[in-house]
A and B are shown apart, each in its own frame.
Chain A
């Protein structure tokens, strides 16, 4: 489903990614471990189509990202990818519910169906009671639940998570990991998770380690 072939990437002639290759199957959860600055986030950005590779190839569901335009990449992210960030990155002016609803609105789903799905998912991730709250009014755990819900609401093939528990206390982090595992299993979604945490890694099927831009 996701195939990364011999990807290299430089920033200002400094190599960030060196000949990275990996593959994810449908529903597979993979943890990507490595020290700060090893290139994990860059790899994630390249896979998400936010950044472009210098050489090599990234295929998502058989499509070569390099052949897509910026708008094409946006459509890929809109339909196939969900993203979770360490700092949640909810849209500050939208309520929890509106944040979750946004990806569905982008795909043009009818309102009734959209709301039904959003509400069901909010129930599922345990934040139904906070649906009208703005991000600033939510706790860290709640924000990350909203972020997870937003990442999966449109049933993407792949979730890219960048340190999803990095900004949470350990108890909340554990709950979030459980939720992430359950949700991806229910939806059959693949997960590529950048993390420092062994605990997070244990929630995955597979662990990849990265050092200085090289996948070990």
Chain B
């Protein structure tokens, strides 16, 4: 142990001081790996938090949330809830919520979906809320509850330039309504700041504006144990469940997290996969960097050995140094990750808003657990990456021997690395056959993720085998270069492995995205056949609650030029395993227009049967493991109704799942006359654009799209989902190419004597550089070729397993040849440039060091 400390103090730390630039670089590399991982995690969490925060700011986190299984809760039920609780000091906080949006500026052009921000209108009892001291500080006067009064956060007031008394126009359902800012919500110390997308109203007023008197969406249940009461949370759960009689459900915060989680699964899948890549590539980078350290210090190690330091001590000292590096870099990485997350959050939030309408651009804060985890990951990866270099260091011969031997790279023959690689790949193939893990209605394709990881590692390791295939002709430079590839060192293998992993991942993602894109386009063409689509202007995202009134639908139907109108109605209902969209549509219309791509086609006229029947989308079928002919217990305001599955259709519009009922049945069960979407078919000769403009002009509270525009928008939003992906993939590949450069630099340092020999036998500087470049070329080509081959399978895995198991979407495999060719050329080209640069550098280095 003394030895270890001595080595660390006298040698390692001194190197840190003397070669601080290199050390800094190394730290930066390590920190980068950790940073990417941390950033992904934070961005992800912060995006998720957007779902939760807005209620928490008002109430602090509640013990339970009560929701109806289908439709709204009735305000009358609150009395029963209070009665059920008896004398328990428990607060019940009813809330109603809706999405609203500022009206579009008067302009004749069609706007983009999501261009308008989506705000949340939250109606809560502002009188009753004052009994919770978390909400308003004592000195705040009770708000004046005038009509159309709304309270906003400081952030929102600042962003929108609102002051107390400002008039604010919003679209609520299909009406443009003017509200008045009655106050700015104060920031309360120790409570989360109110989100920037929140409009808070008094409950009765919100109910009135939404035309939902007597209805509420949820009740937050809050209690705090004290001297006279303990176990209030559990007691209230029991009492409230007993009184529920299927009318309401109790959700704990785990359930709420799971709910938010399931809503964003697709997006998080993306981020998960990417942070996996960051970690893997980061590990390779660390290995290469530490390996370089060992080489640079070889002489020093040799001297230590001569002085009698034991191998074990040297190994320990290296591992300790790696851990120390990991610690410092981990802390830096946390900082870097935090900074990165702030940027990522903006991007992520935009995407989340478009997809789920959920996020306010929240601030991604780092908590202690995550910071520690980041550091631990960094230290762990450093240790794993340092393991081999530390062994090499320990195996360095003493100084007197060092001088005698031409010390060339330790060859990788010790392990038959390719064998491990192939074994890992075979494991991956096996894992790919396993099903998803099912927890609380969430499906986690754990085995498929594991398969992806094994495949990535396996492909990387096996890719070293490709190096054997390089053959040189007459050219002495290439002969020399390729001779190195045919006897690859661990460094060669790792450089190839890193590159292979990055390319595999990029190719896999590219294949998945291209397949998505292709499938989506087909689906859009098939399912979007009406001439004009109408929704509330508030419907800026999939989770919007804004609807169109029956009167407005009638007005549309009566317009000249309109041949047919199909209405889709919508209600969020909660199956035992999570939320699902209940929809009602005109089935005759759908059938006539052939809107559905069938996974399992229904019989003709299925809805005329005696028992209620419904179509479900593929996601739901996958989630529930149900097929045509099975029964679903459908929650409705009148209780559970059995519904026979008549058919299963492909649907890429949502991953929550949809139960599609015939319109009449929907209205009967849900008593809802509001329309969610209206599709308009025009008479022959009617001009869609003219109609659109007319409709829009007459109804500023509506969003009106022509078919062409909606199709374009659907694709745009879809593609936006993957915008972050591309950026991160690029980072992965760049890092891998940088790793290639690092690996070559280590190789060249290690080969200084050989370079001297080359010069002695007449190699010019240029030829020596070229040899290095060819070596780099070989590595790059191997990595790219292996990566593309492996990436095709990874793409298959992502499409057929991960995606299928996560959301149940059937995608048609599509290989984006040109895109991948371009990537291959770019990577190989960059690899050559980097290698040539290293070669050039190495040739200048040789002579100085020789004497």
Q: Is B850 an interface residue (CB 8 A)?
A: yes
Q: In the complex, are the beta carbons of A51 and B404 less than 8 A apart?
A: no
CA of A74 to CA of B759, assembled, Å: 7
B479 to chain A, nearest CB (A): 7
CA of A70 to CA of B758, assembled, Å: 13
CA of A93 to CA of B413, assembled, Å: 14
Mask, B384-420, CB within 8 Å of A = 1, is 0000000000000000000011101000000000000
CA of A42 to CA of B767, assembled, Å: 24
A41 to chain B, nearest CB (A): 8
CA of A76 to CA of B502, assembled, Å: 45
B279 to chain A, nearest CB (A): 33
Chain B residue, CB-CB nearest to A93: B483
Q: Hey, which chain B residues are within 8 Å of A90, CB to CB? A: 406, 757
Mask, B729-765, CB within 8 Å of A = 1, is 0000000000000000000000001101111111111
CA of A105 to CA of B404, assembled, Å: 29
Mask, B449-478, CB within 8 Å of A = 1, is 000000000000000000000000011100
Find A91's partner among B757, B765, B847 (CB 8 Å cutoff): B757
Q: Is B766 an interface residue (CB 8 A)?
A: yes
Q: Is A150 an interface residue (CB 8 A)?
A: yes
Q: Hey, which chain B residues are within 8 Å of A92, CB to CB? A: 406, 408, 487, 754
CA of A77 to CA of B761, assembled, Å: 6
Q: Hey, which chain B residues are within 8 Å of A91, CB to CB? A: 480, 483, 754, 757-758
Q: Hey, which chain B residues are within 8 Å of A19, CB to CB? A: none
Q: Is B76 an interface residue (CB 8 A)?
A: no
CA of A83 to CA of B761, assembled, Å: 7
Q: Is B851 an interface residue (CB 8 A)?
A: yes
CA of A176 to CA of B283, assembled, Å: 49
Q: Is B486 an interface residue (CB 8 A)?
A: yes
The answer to whether residues A102 and B480 also contact, given A71-B766, A74-B762 and a CB cut-off of 8 A, is yes
B86 to chain A, nearest CB (A): 85
Q: Is B699 an interface residue (CB 8 A)?
A: no
B-contacting residues, A70-93, CB 8 Å: 70-71, 74-79, 81-83, 85, 87-93
CA of A79 to CA of B764, assembled, Å: 12
Q: Hey, which chain A residues are within 8 Å of B847, CB to CB? A: 50-51
Q: In the complex, are the beta carbons of B483 and A167 less than 8 A apart?
A: no
Q: In the complex, are the beta carbons of A106 and B762 less than 8 A apart?
A: yes
A-contacting residues, B403-446, CB 8 Å: 404-406, 408
Q: In the complex, are the beta carbons of A77 and B759 less than 8 A apart?
A: yes
Q: In the complex, are the beta carbons of B761 and A94 less than 8 A apart?
A: no
A-contacting residues, B602-620, CB 8 Å: none
Mask, B824-851, CB within 8 Å of A = 1, is 0000000000000000000000010011
Q: Hey, which chain A residues are within 8 Å of B483, CB to CB? A: 91, 93-94, 98
Mask, A31-46, CB within 8 Å of B = 1, is 0000000000110010
State the total of A-B contacts with C-beta under 8 angstroms. 92
Q: Hey, which chain B residues are within 8 Å of A50, CB to CB? A: 756, 759-760, 847, 850
CA of A103 to CA of B759, assembled, Å: 11
A28 to chain B, nearest CB (A): 21
Chain B residue, CB-CB nearest to A74: B764
Q: Hey, which chain B residues are within 8 Å of A88, CB to CB? A: 406
Q: In the complex, are the beta carbons of A11 and B851 less than 8 A apart?
A: yes
Q: Is A202 an interface residue (CB 8 A)?
A: no
CA of A81 to CA of B479, assembled, Å: 22
B-contacting residues, A152-210, CB 8 Å: 167
Q: Hey, which chain A residues are within 8 Å of B405, CB to CB? A: 87
The answer to whether residues A74 and B480 also contact, given A89-B757, A92-B754 and a CB cut-off of 8 A, is no
Q: In the complex, are the beta carbons of B762 and A75 less than 8 A apart?
A: yes
CA of A87 to CA of B850, assembled, Å: 14
Q: Is B484 an interface residue (CB 8 A)?
A: yes
Mask, A20-61, CB within 8 Å of B = 1, is 000000000000000000000110010010110000000000
Q: Hey, which chain A residues are within 8 Å of B754, CB to CB? A: 89, 91-92
Q: In the complex, are the beta carbons of B761 and A150 less than 8 A apart?
A: yes
- Total chain A interface residues with beta-carbon distance under 8 A: 37
A65 to chain B, nearest CB (A): 14
- The binding surface of chain B is classed by DSSP as helix
**Best-surrounded residue of A92, A106, A134, A150 (most CB of chain B within 10 A):** A92
Q: Is A124 an interface residue (CB 8 A)?
A: no
CA of A115 to CA of B479, assembled, Å: 15
**Best-surrounded residue of B480, B483, B762 (most CB of chain A within 10 A):** B762
Q: Hey, which chain A residues are within 8 Å of B760, CB to CB? A: 48, 50, 77, 83, 85, 89
Find A106's partner among B408, B486, B756, B761 (CB 8 Å cutoff): B761
Q: Hey, which chain B residues are within 8 Å of A76, CB to CB? A: 762
CA of A85 to CA of B764, assembled, Å: 19
Q: Hey, which chain A residues are within 8 Å of B759, CB to CB? A: 50, 74, 77
Q: Hey, which chain A residues are within 8 Å of B764, CB to CB? A: 70-71, 74-75
Chain A residue, CB-CB nearest to B763: A74
CA of A38 to CA of B754, assembled, Å: 25
Find B765's partner among A74, A83, A102, A111 (CB 8 Å cutoff): A74
Mask, B213-233, CB within 8 Å of A = 1, is 000000000000000000000
Q: In the complex, are the beta carbons of A89 and B851 less than 8 A apart?
A: no
Q: Hey, which chain A residues are within 8 Å of B486, CB to CB? A: 93
Chain A residue, CB-CB nearest to B487: A93
Q: Hey, which chain B residues are within 8 Å of A111, CB to CB? A: 474
Q: Hey, which chain B residues are within 8 Å of A74, CB to CB? A: 759, 762-765, 767
Q: Hey, which chain A residues are within 8 Å of B406, CB to CB? A: 87-90, 92, 135
Chain A residue, CB-CB nearest to B762: A78
Q: In the complex, are the beta carbons of B763 and A94 less than 8 A apart?
A: no
Find A93's partner among B404, B484, B753, B762 (CB 8 Å cutoff): B484
CA of A50 to CA of B760, assembled, Å: 7
B46 to chain A, nearest CB (A): 51
Q: In the complex, are the beta carbons of A102 and B474 less than 8 A apart?
A: no
Chain B residue, CB-CB nearest to A107: B762
CA of A78 to CA of B758, assembled, Å: 10
A82 to chain B, nearest CB (A): 8
Mask, A111-150, CB within 8 Å of B = 1, is 1000000000000000000000011000000000000001
Chain B residue, CB-CB nearest to A102: B476
Q: Hey, which chain B residues are within 8 Å of A134, CB to CB? A: 487
CA of A115 to CA of B850, assembled, Å: 32
The answer to whether residues A106 and B476 also contact, given A11-B851, A50-B847, A92-B408 and a CB cut-off of 8 A, is yes
Q: Hey, which chain A residues are within 8 Å of B476, CB to CB? A: 102, 105-106
CA of A82 to CA of B762, assembled, Å: 9
Q: In the complex, are the beta carbons of B480 and A106 less than 8 A apart?
A: no
Chain A residue, CB-CB nearest to B476: A105
**Best-surrounded residue of A41, A85, A89, A111 (most CB of chain B within 10 A):** A89
Q: In the complex, are the beta carbons of B762 and A103 less than 8 A apart?
A: yes
B395 to chain A, nearest CB (A): 16
Find A94's partner among B480, B765, B851 (CB 8 Å cutoff): B480
Q: Hey, which chain B residues are within 8 Å of A85, CB to CB? A: 757, 760
Q: In the complex, are the beta carbons of B766 and A89 less than 8 A apart?
A: no
Mask, B479-521, CB within 8 Å of A = 1, is 1100110110000000000000000000000000000000000
Q: In the complex, are the beta carbons of B761 and A102 less than 8 A apart?
A: yes
**Best-surrounded residue of B763, B764, B765 (most CB of chain A within 10 A):** B764
A12 to chain B, nearest CB (A): 10
A34 to chain B, nearest CB (A): 16
CA of A50 to CA of B759, assembled, Å: 7
CA of A99 to CA of B484, assembled, Å: 13
Find A89's partner among B484, B756, B763 (CB 8 Å cutoff): B756
Q: In the complex, are the beta carbons of A77 and B762 less than 8 A apart?
A: yes
A110 to chain B, nearest CB (A): 9
**Best-surrounded residue of A41, A103, A105 (most CB of chain B within 10 A):** A105
Known: A74-B767, A90-B757, A91-B757. 6 other contacts (CB 8 A): A50-B756, A70-B764, A75-B762, A87-B405, A92-B754, A106-B767
Task: List 10 interface pairs A-B (beta carbons < 8 Å), by A numbering.
Answer: A74-B759, A74-B763, A74-B767, A83-B761, A90-B757, A91-B757, A94-B483, A102-B479, A105-B479, A106-B767
Q: Top 8 closest A-B pairs, CB basis?
A: A78-B762, A105-B476, A93-B483, A74-B764, A77-B762, A89-B757, A83-B760, A92-B408
